[in-house]
Every structure is written in structure tokens, then in C-alpha cells.
Chains A and B, each alone.
Chain A
């Protein structure tokens, strides 16, 4: 932030742009994305597509994730934490402006955090802010957040897209006309087709190399494939059709990367309803599933097997896949032990993603081998949220939990697994209180083992981030610690 003053940069851009582009590489990029965001306000909706467009590009928070999920400073250049772990003092970067020209200061931070945790807040991740007791403005560049109890994950929470800093004047209209502190503004949105981001001339931070980014919404995997092949797109992060990747891999014009996401794909089971309330039955289900076949059939081999609800790329991950190794014999024995030697019938409700639908058919066939009959019903998201998530009217379902570090859901009494374990709840409470990274890792390990040994769900695989790009485009996030298409580091090779 010391290199070039914004005004100088703007002048340089105005004078030398034409000459610069003639010699230098391209400064525009066309990006494919599968889902269109419903709005552009990350503080009022859970859709990942909102973050894909706005995270780091349009909106910024006090902290942020880098591409490996590490929390780094963003609008707060540094901070102090009191020894009791209750008071966080953030020192804000000087000279930050919103894209409407107004200055970002401590009042905006207080407004944003108070708004997100308010009684009538519609923030989808309101739980992130639950521990905040008070937000105090010390001076325009210093803000103090006081927690009601220590929270080792607080800086991590603030890095989420749902915790970005917005201005009171524009907060209500961000869904359609977003005003953030980031280097880009949304200059055009053709509904159903494209969103165009243009670099701000008055950006306060490090200059960006890409001046215009067009995000084209291409929902159909076949269209995504042909648009990429035809050169209509420069990059497609989260490419929707793993079956077509092989056709790009052999081609030197393209680069295919397989990165990580926070999406644990699980066969969730209703722990509250017979016969799945019996741990032996759940274990039988887990042993009946061959993860390799599921990954091969549903994901064309892309995907890492998991044995618990935790991301394998996280340093605290423990490989527990052996606990639920493929073993149909054991499965049958366990069912017999539970008094179900003739098997049983249950429902498998599948949301509309292709990985869920395909995995569902495979798993149904595998469960049939050990005598478990599942009745598949393919439902849409709203139905899933209502029937499975809200009313728990289901036996099994397949879903990817894409929120980062969400093992805490196993400690929630109101969650749709209907799993209630005092031991797990105690572990999570302990985790929240702990700030020491090593101790946190050790607690996380115990938590992973707890839910794996309780066979709460059958853990299938970690969803990969499959990205196809034109050779020459560099600086792309290979992993997705949070849904984001961060343009700030993107550039074309000369």
C-alpha cells in the first residue's frame, strides 16, 4: 500500500493506458460460472454465487482468506488481542474508500458488525457474530470488539464473505447496486447472462492487472464445455462436468487444476428415526458403501475419500477412512446383530446437484447388496430445505456441506442429523474457548474421531475444485477455502 498513491495511479492509467496495453498482455478476462447470484449482497443470502462475484473483488472484511484458507489482514492491517482473549482491537488501513467515494472508517465497521448480529438481522451466517458483546469505536481508524467469551475462531469468522464491511448509506441497496471497498465495481449485470466487473480508478490498495472481468453465467455443463472449447471463455472455475475434463487435459491450450474445497460430501442419516437411530445400523450403512466406486462413478475419479466431516487439506485432518472401510460382510453381520437380518427400507432424498444424483444411484445399488432398500426421490433445493433440513422427514440424503470448518454443526441440537452427543458438544465448547493453535488442532482431531466412531453419517468424499483455464492465465485460486473468484492476483503471461 506504499507503492503508488491512488491519484498518481489514476493519472498514469489515463495517460499511458493505450501505450501500455499495446506492449503488455491482455487486461480483460471472461470467466464462466454455473450459478447466477440472486443478488449481490453477501450479508443477506447464503448463495455461494454471491461470494463468487463479490468476495475480495467488490467487498472486503477486516480479515480475509488467501487461496489456502489462511486468515490474513485485509481492511484491518493489524490487531491486538487482550490476554483474556475477550477484547480484539483492530487498526484499520488508512485511506480506504468505498466505490461511491466515501471514506471507510471505524463507524462503518461498527455499523456492519452490529447490523449482522442484530435481532432482525437477515445474515445467513448470523452465528459467526454470536459471541460479540459490544463493538466500540475508539477513533476513526481503531475499533474494539468485545466478546462475551473467548473465541479462538473469531478472526476466521471475520474472514467470511458474510462479514464484509458495508456503509450505512448503501447497505440496503447492495443486492442490486453493491458499494464496497474492493478494487472492482459491478458495471453491468445482464440478468441470466453476465455480470461485468470493472476496476476502480480510485482504488486505495495495490493496483490490479485485470481491468475488466466478464462473468458469464453458463448453467449447462454441455454449454460450459463447448464455450470453453470454442474460446468464448478464458477460465471456468468450479467446472461443472468432471466427465469432460479428460478432453481438456490432453490439450496444451488449456490448463486443468484440481484443487480443494470445503465441501464435505456426506450421506447424511436421520439419527433420530428408527432404524437409523441404532449405531449398528448406521455403521452397517457405512461399511456397505465403496467410496472408490462412488468417486469413480459420480465424479469420474476426482475427489478425495473422507472418513469424517473434515477437509483433508486442513493440517488438523485425521484420516479415519479405515473406520468405515468397504466391507459388505461386516455390514450384513451388523444388520443381523441389530435384528435386521432381512434388511429394511428407508428413503434417500437427493438435492438437484449432479454429484448427489449420481452418488445416490450408486449408493442405492450398493445398499441393496446388503439388503437395505432405499426409495430414491429427486427433489429440488426448496423441498430439500423444507422436508429434510427443517422437518427432518427423511431417512438419508446426500449433500456437500461447503461452509469452511463446519464440524460444529454436529454439536447443534437443532440440526437435521438429529445427533445429540454431550461429548461432542463439550469438545466444541472447549474449541471455542481455546486460542492456542496446537491445542485447537488436537481438539479438532478428537472431534473428528468422535463423529466417525458414532457413525453419525457416512462420509463420502471431499468435493474437488476443478478449474479449466486457457494457458497463460495466472494467479488463479487453485483451492476454494470459501466460494470466491479472486481477481486481484489474476494476470496474463506476457
Chain B
């Protein structure tokens, strides 16, 4: 196990290193720079040059790359070009929107998906199952940003129950949760659809296994067998999907944050690119990559712990 762990860790580090190089190189070739953006239409060339020097943009690329990675390893992510505050602080602020939004969406999606999936599996082939399968099929097909717009049209514009966008901060937790509700619903719907289908098929598969047949032979009803034996085993694929959805949600919220104008990580990265605040962009990008890789790593570990055969593969 220790050797396997070391191997996986090395792969994790390697992926992160490769990602950092890819990100840095991509940002190197992006046309335009922060200095020109900040100074606008009346700027004179010498002023732009002076600002470039002040921001350190005139240093050689390798030097800036080493400076970035060296700093990041020590927890120093540099200073934002435009905001003039530490990037770590900006990211910290935005995480307080993105993370709660992700968890909110995840909680909603789970709360909807699991009961629905279980119901469909228990009534397999019945009208409830057919309804669930149809509805989830539709849920997967709906683009979340369009769904978000429709939610705004109904609940913010027509009914005025929620605001159409923005985030009031956590000073008033209820208001903050309210502001996150529509975005979380918009994010959760497609995820809930996928999850419900996974739950259903995992359960159905478990119900076909020998131990369930044995249980049924012992006289348990279908429902009892489902509750006592199948459910536990079906949770494994469900948890895997949940893990994947977490990383998907934290990055996939970029569009939803734009629809609702939430000051989260996604909007930060968008703004950063628009303003050529590449100091912000490269760090958020790396952070997102790190989050995705870490979740994949943990899922792999969980699998390996559950199934020792996997440790020798790959």
C-alpha cells in the first residue's frame, strides 16, 4: 500500500507540475497585458512602459515562472496587478462564495437524487420508475445557464421572491443563503438527474447479485432486501460520482456565477482574464486543477482501499 501511495503521490505532483507549465505558457502567449488595460485609451506608450516595469512584466519569462512557483510553494501567490492586494486574499474571499455554493448544490442534488433513485429502483418498470427516468433524462438535457435564466424570469422578475443576482455577503447569513438558492438549484438539477440514475442502476445491479437472492430466499421481501443489503453496496458508485461532481461543480460554477453575478472563483478568473490580471488567473487556474486532481487522487485511494487488486494495476 505504501508503495502504491508513493506512486500515486508522484503522479499527483507530476500532473500539477505539468499543469503549471501549461498554464504559464498559455498565459505567456495571450495577447495584451495588464498595464495597457489599466491605462486605457489616452495612455501614452512611455506610461505603459513605466507601469509594465512597476508590475514586473518586463522580467524574463523563466524568472517570472520560477518566482511564481517558488512563491506558491511557500504560500505566497503574489500581488494582483489590478486590485493591488495579495491574490491569496482575493481567492480566500471568493472561496467563501464558491465553496458554500458548491456544497449547497451538492446537498440539494443528493437530497433530491437519492430518494428518487431508490424509489425508481424499488418500483422498477412501474409508472414511478418511468416518470423518474423521463424526468432525469430531461434534467440532463437542460443547459444549466438556460435553466438559471428561466429561474430568474420566474422567481426574480415575475414573482420577486429572490433577487436576480449579486451576493450580499455573509454578514446576514439568511440573506446570503437566499442569494445562493437560485444558483444552487440551477447547478443541482442536472447533477441530481445524473445521480438519481446512478443510484437507480447501482441498486438494480445489486439486487441481481447472489447475496440478495440468498436474502430473498431466506424470506426477506424485495423492499427489505433492498434496504438491508443492496443500499449499502450501491452507495459506493454513488459516492464516486459525488466526488467527481464536487470538482465539476466548483469549476463548472463559472457560467452560473456569471449568470447570477456572484463574486466567486469563476467570476474572478473571468475578470482576471478580461483585465489581463494574469497573476490572479494563473493562481486560480492552478487551484482549480489542484482541486480536481486531489479529488481524483482521493477517489483512487478509496478504490484501492476497497479493492486491493487495483493496487497492482496501472
| Direct A–B contact in complex, judged by CB atoms less than 8 Å apart | yes
Binding site for B on A (CB under 8 A): 38-39, 44-47, 119-127, 175-176, 190-194, 216-220, 222-223, 225-227, 229-230, 232, 352, 380-383, 385-387, 389-390, 401, 403, 406, 409, 414
Q: A121-B47, A227-B166, A382-B32 are in contact. List 16 more A-B contacts (CB 8 A).
A: A38-B275, A120-B54, A122-B47, A124-B42, A126-B46, A176-B84, A192-B167, A220-B164, A220-B260, A222-B157, A223-B260, A226-B163, A382-B33, A382-B276, A386-B32, A403-B42
Contacting pair A386 B166 (CB below 8 A) = no
Shortest Cβ distance from A191 into B: residue: B93
Whether B36 and A192, one on each chain, are in contact in the complex, defined by CB atoms closer than 8 angstroms, is: no
Contact residues in B for A406 (Cβ distance below 8 Å): 42
Chain A proximity mask over B149-177: 1 for CB below 8 Å, otherwise 0: 00010001100100111111100000000
**Residue contact B164 to A193, C-beta cutoff 8 Å:** no
Considering the complex, give the chain A residue whose CB is closest to the CB of B45: A414
Closest chain B residue to A384 by CB distance? B32
In the complex, are the beta carbons of A383 and B47 less than 8 A apart? no
Cβ of A385: which chain B residues have Cβ within 8 Å of it? 32, 36-37
**Beta-carbon contact of A176 and B50 below 8 Å:** no
Q: How far is the CA of A176 from the CA of B47 in the complex (A)?
A: 21
For residue A125, which residues in chain B have a CB less than 8 angstroms away from its CB? 42
Q: Tell me which residues across on chain A come within 8 A of B169, comparing CB atoms.
A: 190, 193-194
**CB of B153, distance to nearest CB on chain A (Å):** 9
- Minimal beta-carbon separation of A145 from chain B (angstroms): 20
Quick one: which of B224-277 are within 8 Å of A by CB? Answer: 259-261, 263, 267-268, 273-276
Q: Does B82 contact A (CB under 8 A)?
A: yes
Interface residues of B in 51-88 (CB under 8 A from A): 51, 53-54, 82-85
Kindly report which residue of chain A lies nearest to residue B50, judged by CB atoms: A120
Which residue of B is nearest A406, CB measured?
B42
B156 to A226, Cβ gap below 8 A? yes
* Pairwise interchain contact A223-B31, C-beta atoms closer than 8 A: no
Q: Is the CB of A122 within 8 A of B39?
A: yes
Cβ distance A421 to chain B, nearest Cβ, rounded Å? 20
Residue of B40, B160, B167, B268 near A47 (CB, 8 A) is B40
Cβ of B178 under 8 Å from chain A: no
Contact (A216, B40) CB under 8 Å given A119-B50, A122-B47, A175-B84: no
The CA of A382 and the CA of B270, in the complex, are separated in Å by 12
Residues of B within 8 A of A389 (CB): 36, 41
Residues of B within 8 Å of A217, CB to CB, are 166
B36 touches A386 (CB 8 A): yes
Partner of A127, one of B44, B53, B260: B44
Q: Is B8's beta carbon under 8 Å from chain A?
A: no
* Whole-angstrom CA separation of A44 from B83 in the bound complex: 12
Taking CB atoms, residues of chain A closer than 8 Å to B38 are 38, 44-47, 124
**In-complex Cβ contact of A223 among B50, B83, B261 (8 A):** B261
Interfacial chain A residues near B54, Cβ < 8 Å: 120, 122
What B residues does A121 contact at CB under 8 A? Answer: 47, 50
Q: Are B165 and A220 in contact (CB under 8 A)?
A: yes
Partner of A38, one of B82, B160, B267: B82
Chain A residue, CB-CB nearest to B277: A38
Let me know if B168 and A193 touch, CB within 8 A. yes
**When the two chains form their complex, are residues A193 and B40 in contact, meaning their CB atoms are under 8 A apart?**
no
B-chain residues with CB within 8 Å of residue A401 when the two chains form the complex: 41
Q: How far is the CB of A394 from chain B (nearest CB, A)?
A: 13
Pairs across A and B, CB under 8 Å, 22 listed: A45-B40, A46-B43, A120-B50, A121-B50, A124-B38, A124-B42, A127-B42, A176-B83, A190-B169, A191-B83, A191-B263, A193-B169, A218-B165, A218-B261, A220-B259, A226-B157, A226-B165, A227-B166, A230-B163, A381-B275, A382-B274, A409-B42
Docked complex Cα distance between A194 and B93 (Å):
13
A382 near B164 (CB under 8 angstroms)? no
Q: Which one of B41, B83, B164 has the highest number of Cβ atoms from chain A below 10 Å of its Cβ?
A: B41
Assembled-state Cα–Cα distance A413/B44 (Å): 12
Bound complex: CA of A232 vs CA of B166, how far in Å? 11
CB atoms of A123 and B47 under 8 A apart: yes
CA distance A386 to B40 in the complex (A): 11
Q: How far is the CB of A12 from chain B (nearest CB, A)?
A: 31
Chain B residue contacts of A216, Cβ below 8 A: 166
> In the complex, how many angstroms separate the beta carbon of A257 from the nearest chain B beta carbon?
23
**Is B90 part of the contact surface with A, judged by Cβ < 8 Å?**
yes
Partner of B31, one of A194, A219, A386: A386
CB distance from B195 to the nearest CB of A (A): 30
Q: Which residues from chain B contact A383 at a C-beta distance below 8 Å?
A: 31-32
Question: Judging by beta carbons under 8 Å apart, are A39 and B163 in contact?
Answer: no
User: Is B311's beta carbon under 8 Å from chain A?
Assistant: no
CB distance from A46 to the nearest CB of B (A): 3
Judge if B216 is at the interface, Cβ distance under 8 Å: no
**B40 cross-chain contacts in A, Cβ below 8 A:** 45-47, 124
In the complex, which residues of chain A have a beta carbon less than 8 angstroms from the beta carbon of B160? 226, 229-230
Give the residue name and chain of the A residue nearest to B89 (CB): A191
Kindly list chain B residues whose C-beta atoms are within 8 Å of the C-beta of A124: 38-40, 42-43, 47
Q: Report A-chain residues with C-beta under 8 Å of the C-beta of B274.
A: 352, 380-382
- CB B245 to nearest CB in A, in angstroms, measures 25
Q: With the chains together, A194 CA to B175 CA distance in Å?
A: 15
Which residue on B lies nearest to A40, using beta carbons? B84
Is B163 in contact with A232, judged by CB distance below 8 angstroms?
yes
Contacts of B45 in A (CB 8 A): 414
By a CB distance below 8 angstroms, the chain B residues around A380 are: 273-274
Question: How far does the Cβ of B222 sit from chain A's closest Cβ, in whole Å?
Answer: 50
- B213 interface contact, C-beta 8 A: no
**Residues in chain A near residue B90, CB distance under 8 A:** 191
Q: Which residue of A lies closest to B162 (CB)?
A: A226
A352 cross-chain contacts in B, Cβ below 8 A: 274
A389 to B168: give the CA distance in the assembly, Å. 37
Contact A381 B37 (CB under 8 A): yes
Knowing A119-B50, A383-B31, the reply to whether A193 touches B263 (Cβ < 8 A) is yes
* B83 close to A39 (CB less than 8 A): yes
Q: Provided the pairs A226-B163, A414-B45 are in contact, do residues A382 and B36 lie with their beta carbons within 8 angstroms?
A: yes
Which listed residue (B51, B93, B268) contacts A122, Cβ 8 A? B51
Complex Cα gap A150–B199 (Å):
80
Q: How far is the CA of A227 from the CA of B268 in the complex (A)?
A: 22
**A126 and B166 form a contact (CB under 8 A):** no
Per the bound structure, the CA–CA distance linking A192 and B166 in Å amounts to 9
CB B29 to nearest CB in A, in angstroms, measures 12
Distance in angstroms between the alpha carbons of A200 and B244 in the assembled complex: 52
**In the complex, what residue of chain B is closest to A172 when comparing beta carbons?**
B84
CB of A286, distance to nearest CB on chain B (Å): 22
